[in-house]
C-alpha cells in the first residue's frame, strides 16, 4: 500500500499551489509555508526509504504548519505503513470530512476503499468507571477521561483507569477486527488501616523492702552490753563508797576499786554511744533504704560510726 513516487510528487505540487486552505481560516505565513514544504520533502524522502515512523513525524509537522487538509492523505498513508491502523482510519475519515467535494472523484473512491479495509483491522473500546473524570490510558498512553470510546488497532492492549485517592484499575484485552467491547472499571477507595494500639506499658513489680535485721541485731547487742557494763559500773561505784567508810581499808584497795569504777564507766559510755549510733543507722536503713538487698547492703556499708577519746569524755562521729 505504498504511495508511488509520482503520486507523492503530485502532492508536493498540490502543497505548493494550494497553500491556502478554507477561506474561513487565515492563510499561513510565507515562512510557515516554506518550513512546511521542507518537512514535507523530508517526509517524502523518508517514506521512499521505508522509514515510515520518521516520515509520519515530518508529514504531521508539515500539516500543523500549513493547515492544508491535503496533507492528511500523506499522514494516513504513513500511519498505515507504520501499522497504526486506528490512527490511519481516523486520519482518512478526517481527510474525507475536511476535503468534502474538493477531493477528486478517483481519490475519494480510493480512500473509501482504504477506509473499508481499515475498519476490518480496527476494534472499538468503550471505557466507563464508577467515579467521574478518571483518566484512561491505553498501552501506557493517556487517551482521555471516562466515559471514553476509542478505536484501537487489532492486537493485545492494556487498559488502565486511574484517579487520585482511588486504587487503579487495569485489564489486558485482545482486540480483533470489528470488535466493539465495553469495560466498566470499578475504582475502590483505599481502606484506611488503623494501626494497632501500642502494647500496655508493663511496670515491673518493685521488690519488697528488706528489713535491716543485721543493723538492729547489732544495736540490740550493743544496748544489752551497755546496760550490763553500766550495772557493773554502778555496782563497782557502790563497792567503792562502802570501802571508803571502812577504817581498815588500804590505799591499794581504794585505787583498785576506783580504777574498776572508771574502767566500767568508760566501757559503758563507749557501748552506749555505739548503741545510739547503731540505732540511728538502723532507723535510717529502715525508713530510707531502697528496695532490694543489694541497695540495702550498699547503704549499710556506706553508713559508718567512729568513737574516739576526748578530754573529759568520748567523741562520737559517723556518716549515715
Rounded Cα gap, residues 131 and 133, in angstroms: 7
- Reference 165, options 202, 137, 122, 131; nearest CA is 131
Least confident of 29-38, 124-133, 223-232: 223-232
Q: In sequence order, which residues have a C-beta less than 8 Å from that of residue 210 and are 6 or more positions away? A: 289, 291, 292, 293, 296
End-to-end CA distance of the chain: 111
Q: Do you find a cis peptide bond into 28, omega within 30 degrees of 0?
A: no
| Mean pLDDT value across the chain | 80
Which pLDDT band holds residue 254 (cuts at 50, 70, 90)? confident
Cα-based distances in Å from 268 to 49, 273, 277: 128, 9, 14
Checking if the pLDDT of 38 tops 60, the result is yes
Q: Tell me the mean pLDDT in the region 84-96.
A: 94
Q: Tell me the mean pLDDT in the region 72-81.
A: 95
**DSSP letter (8 states) at residue 208:** P
**DSSP letter (8 states) at residue 167:** B
Following DSSP, what letter does each residue of 262-312 receive, concatenated?
Answer: HHHHHHHHHHHHHHHHHHHHHHHHHHHPPSSHHHHHHHHHH-EEEEEEETT
Rounded Cα gap, residues 58 and 5, in angstroms: 17
In order of their start, the domains of the chain are 5-119 (1.25.40.10), 122-185 (2.60.40.1120), 213-319 (no CATH)
- What are the φ and ψ backbone dihedral angles of 145, each rounded to 5 degrees? -120, 155
Residues of the chain with pLDDT > 70: what percent?
A: 78
Rounded Cα gap, residues 118 and 120, in angstroms: 5
Residue 170 contacts residue 136 (beta carbons within 8 Å): no
What are the grid coordinates assigned to 47, written together?
A: 517514506
Q: In sequence order, which residues have a C-beta less than 8 Å from that of residue 34 and are 6 or more positions away? A: none
pLDDT at 62: 94
Q: Higher pLDDT residue, 309 or 51?
A: 51
Q: Tell me the mean pLDDT in the region 141-156.
A: 92
Residue 39 contacts residue 75 (beta carbons within 8 Å): no
Q: Tell me the mean pLDDT in the region 17-30.
A: 56
Residue 84 contacts residue 139 (beta carbons within 8 Å): no
Which pLDDT band holds residue 145 (cuts at 50, 70, 90)? very high
pLDDT at 3: 46
Q: Higher pLDDT residue, 258 or 81?
A: 81
Q: Higher pLDDT residue, 257 or 312?
A: 257
Residue 314 contacts residue 270 (beta carbons within 8 Å): yes
Rounded Cα gap, residues 148 and 135, in angstroms: 10
Q: How many residues does the chain have?
A: 320
Q: What's the pTM value of the predicted model, to 2 decimals?
A: 0.51
What are the grid coordinates assigned to 97, written together?
A: 470530512
Residue 163 contacts residue 142 (beta carbons within 8 Å): no
Least confident of 35-49, 80-94, 222-236: 222-236
Q: What is the pLDDT of residues 174-200, one digit of tens each?
A: 999 889 999 999 998 876 667 788 888
Amino acid at each position: 500500500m505504498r504511495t508511488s513516487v509520482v503520486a507523492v510528487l503530485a502532492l508536493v505540487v498540490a502543497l505548493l499551489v494550494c497553500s491556502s486552505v478554507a477561506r474561513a481560516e487565515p492563510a499561513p505565513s510565507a515562512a510557515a509555508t516554506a518550513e512546511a514544504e521542507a518537512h514535507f520533502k523530508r517526509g517524502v524522502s523518508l517514506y521512499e526509504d521505508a522509514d515510515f515512523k520518521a516520515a509520519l513525524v515530518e508529514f504531521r509537522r508539515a500539516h500543523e504548519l500549513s493547515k492544508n487538509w491535503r496533507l492528511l492523505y500523506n499522514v494516513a498513508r504513513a500511519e498505515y505503513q507504520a501499522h497504526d491502523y486506528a490512527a490511519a482510519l481516523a486520519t482518512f475519515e478526517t481527510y474525507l470530512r475536511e476535503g468534502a467535494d474538493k477531493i477528486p472523484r478517483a481519490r475519494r473512491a480510493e480512500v473509501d476503499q482504504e477506509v473499508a479495509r481499515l475498519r476490518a483491522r480496527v476494534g472499538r473500546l468503550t471505557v466507563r468507571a464508577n467515579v467521574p473524570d478518571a483518566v484512561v490510558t491505553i498501552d501506557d498512553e493517556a487517551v482521555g477521561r471516562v466515559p471514553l470510546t476509542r478505536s484501537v488497532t487489532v492486537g493485545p492492549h492494556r487498559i488502565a483507569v486511574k484517579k487520585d485517592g482511588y486504587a487503579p484499575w487495569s485489564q489486558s484485552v485482545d482486540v480483533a477486527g470489528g470488535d466493539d467491547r465495553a469495560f466498566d472499571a470499578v475504582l475502590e477507595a483505599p481502606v484506611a488501616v488503623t494501626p494497632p494500639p501500642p502494647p500496655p506499658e508493663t511496670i515491673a513489680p518493685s521488690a519488697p523492702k528488706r528489713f535491716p535485721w543485721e543493723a538492729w541485731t547489732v544495736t540490740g547487742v550493743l544496748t544489752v552490753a551497755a546496760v550490763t557494763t553500766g550495772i557493773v559500773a554502778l555496782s563497782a561505784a557502790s563497792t567503792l563508797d562502802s570501802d571508803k567508810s571502812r577504817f581498815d581499808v588500804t590505799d591499794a584497795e581504794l585505787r583498785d576499786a576506783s580504777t574498776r569504777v572508771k574502767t566500767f564507766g568508760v566501757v559503758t559510755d563507749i557501748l552506749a554511744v555505739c548503741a545510739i549510733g547503731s540505732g540511728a543507722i538502723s532507723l535510717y536503713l529502715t525508713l530510707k533504704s531502697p528496695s532490694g538487698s543489694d541497695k540495702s547492703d550498699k547503704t549499710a556499708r556506706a553508713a559508718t560510726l567512729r568513737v574516739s577519746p576526748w578530754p573529759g569524755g568520748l567523741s562520737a562521729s559517723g556518716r549515715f
